[in-house]
Amino acid sequence: MTRARVTEICTAKPGAEMSEPFGPGADTWKVCGKIFACLSAAQNGVSVKTDSVDTAEMLIAAGIWGETPAFGGYCAGVFHRRAGGRAGL
């Protein structure tokens, strides 16, 4: 997924704002101050927050997504998709 596509999807969310609290190129998307997506500076993937732990576990079990290194791997419901993967945001 390209940076342009991530930006297009995230910008469409009502109230979404982009900032770079983790440094230049690390696009972080928030609604009401809460992070819902991050694009790595290296552009090797996008991390998104799911609606529940159950959804997170289902996506991991299906092999579609995996725990994100961007959030230390301990934040339930946050997943990382490598660029070029088959699943979208």
Query: Do residues 23 and 34 touch, judged by C-beta distance below 8 A?
Result: no
Mean pLDDT of the chain: 74
Cα distances from 81 to residues 47, 55, 67, in angstroms, run 6, 15, 9
Q: Is 30 or 47 the better-scoring residue by pLDDT?
A: 30
pLDDT at 72: 46
The tally of CA atoms less than 13 A away on the side-chain side of residue 18 is 17
pLDDT at 23: 85
Rounded to an integer, the average pLDDT of 16-42 is 87
Q: What is the pLDDT of residues 45-86, one digit of tens each?
A: 777 777 777 877 787 788 777 766 555 444 444 455 554 544
Q: Is the pTM for the entire model greater than 0.85?
A: no
pLDDT at 1: 66
Query: Would you say residue 87 has pLDDT above 50?
Result: no
